[in-house]
Chains A and B, each alone.
Chain A
Amino acid sequence: MIELSQTEIEHIQHEMTLYEDPGAATIEALKIVQEHRGWVSDEAMEAAAKVVGVTPTQMEAVATFYNLIFRQPVGRHVIMLCDSISCYLVGYEQVRDHLKTTLGIDFGGTTEDGRFTLLPICCLGDCDRGPAMRVGEVYHDQLTPERVDAILAEYP
């Protein structure tokens, strides 16, 4: 069993004060742990459950439900490529194939050097500038294979 850092614990405890039921901070707790560790391991999840005051099972049920919680290690940069209808109509498939070939991974995969993880994501709300993707928290849009190459180079 590992312990969370003091920063993580304080951040989670602050979130718990924002809700009538402190257990509502379950999702926030997972996000906080992920922010500090990159992903949510079994051990970190159990430690977070202890802070929030829910069982590890309750926390696991939540962790596996939401798209943005990673239960496996991910690369330094997580690419989330929008695969919804607006982007599909303006070249999603071409960008997807280019990303998969360039990175040598399929959706869900991480490059061997640990640099990138590639994931599909629902409509990013960038529909008038598709195809769109996020790298980390940054949006990139109006993608073409050439633009993708230039963007990837920005992320060492």
Chain B
Amino acid sequence: MEQTKVLTQRIRDDRAPVWIDDYINEGGYEALNKALSDYGPTEVGPLIKEAGLRGRGGAGFPTGVKWSFMPRFEDRPDERPKHVYLVVNADEMEPGTFKDRMIMEGDPHQLIEGMIIAAYAIGADMAYVFIRGEYVECQKNLQRAIDEAHAKGYLGDDILGSGFNLKIYLHMSAGRYICGEESALLSALEGRRAVPRHKPPFPAASGLFGQPTTVNNVETICNVPHIVKNGVEWYKSLGHNKDGGTKIFGASGHVAKPGLAEFGLGVKLGDVLEHFGGIRNGRKLKGLLPGGGSTPFLTPEHLDTPMDYDGVGAAGSRLGTATMIVFDDQTPIVGVLKNLEHFYAQESCGWCTPCRDGLPWVEKMLIGLEEGRGQPGDIELLDLHVKLLGPGKTFCAHAPGAMGPLEAGLKYYRDELSALIPDDATTLSLTQAANANPL
């Protein structure tokens, strides 16, 4: 299956960063020139909306719609707050996700150009990239790209004579998965514990330091220059179905050739798997998480699924980050679930009770099952947790995200899980069970 390289067109085989001269030689910053000269500040957003770009960080919210929530001050400059913010979410901590790192390391100017256009479109004058603390190489490359862009007049005051001003700063996180939740990310950026905030108000109304703010994923922002430069029709034609554009897909785990590749949205799951060499060691596919640790399993019966937002949704999962985690038929499902739930239990921010107490309980039960200490009723108790920690029961999407793979695991691999309960096991009270399965 041939790749459709748009976002990855400049990425070198050895991932050596593309600096500004090469970036410009290969068509870079043309989109910025075009945006500033051909479009008014309020005209870029509708273009992105028409192109149908949806968030690439996992949730898939339409980007142009998100931007349209931002208050405008063109007609009432006196009311303009001290700052309007664009924040880029580069806190790539979803298990199995490694796509934004490639962009930031290999083609940092693509993100910077996208940010400048996005900031112009939403009326922002300050922008932050919130980078996970471990991505030191991304920080170095982005800082150099920012400095280079400044020197060329693409950043700072009166960008390319347009009167538009923008500053970009990098914030290195101190680590926690919950920082990827956009309102928690804003709390972290304000120097506080990364606890999610109540919505509404949404960040567009009250975001960073209470000011109008838009938070977008790295890959989302990197689509923007291409849409501006090549147009809506071109962009839509890249996808196989309704969703326009390309997506960076990835594969890790038991595939023969793990890595990253870019395809038009709507490519068939089976074709993506084939690109990554299929299952290694001549084994068979047992299941996969299509887009990170919180996306419910797909199984061999789903190989014809079109990999776009609606297609994966119809198969009972989510496209997520589209970096799939693949496991073969020799893999015990209880280990996979235990590993995933351990992650979510550990990374709960602790703010709300179902998440803080429910997730460790789920992990305990899975460890018990794996170690032969399962009890009659465990499977049903796990079912109950899926309900009690599901959407609408918790303060943010962390626990519901953790329940996604668990629910799918209980559906597709129920017999395998039930068989782990020893025949002679007796039912314990909840207290006894807690004491029998210490973490």
Contacts and interface: CB of A to CB of B under 8 A. Distances in A.
Interface stretch (A3-11, A97-105, A126-134, A144-152): A126-134
Given A21-B191, A86-B325, 8 more contacts: A25-B191, A30-B174, A52-B191, A83-B343, A85-B325, A86-B252, A90-B253, A127-B323
Contacts of B98: 125-128
Contact of A86 (B188, B194, B253): B253
A20 B83 contact: yes
Given A62-B192, A85-B293, A122-B343, A130 B252 contact: yes
Nearest to B137: A139
Interface in B162-207: 169, 171-177, 188-194
A153 interface: no
Nearest to A124: B134
Contacts of A28: 171-172, 191
10 contacts: A19-B190, A19-B191, A28-B172, A65-B349, A67-B175, A68-B174, A84-B343, A90-B253, A127-B323, A128-B258
Those 8 A-B pairs whose CB atoms lie nearest each other, nearest first: A67-B175, A66-B174, A26-B191, A127-B252, A128-B258, A86-B252, A24-B191, A68-B175
Interface residues of B, number: 57
Given A18-B169, A67-B175, A123 B82 contact: no
B175 A128 contact: no
Contacts of A24: 189-191, 209
A84 B293 contact: yes
B176 A66 contact: yes
A65 B96 contact: no
A77 interface: no
A122 B347 contact: yes
A127 B189 contact: no
Contacts of A20: 82-83, 208-209, 211
Contacts of A31: 133, 172, 174
Interface in A42-99: 52, 54, 61-62, 65-69, 80, 83-86, 88-90
A27 B174 contact: yes
A66 B97 contact: no
B174 A88 contact: no
Nearest to B179: A66
A22 B148 CA distance: 27
A125 B82 CA distance: 36
Contact of B95 (A26, A62, A122, A128): A122
Given A62-B192, A86-B95, A127 B176 contact: no
B396 to A, nearest CB: 15
A23 interface: yes
Given A86-B253, A123-B96, A125-B101, A27 B188 contact: yes
B397 to A, nearest CB: 17
Contacts of B65: none
Given A23-B191, A66-B175, A66-B176, A86 B169 contact: no
B54 interface: no
Given A23-B191, A128-B259, A89 B331 contact: yes
A29 B343 CA distance: 27
Contacts of A122: 93, 95, 175, 177, 343, 346-347
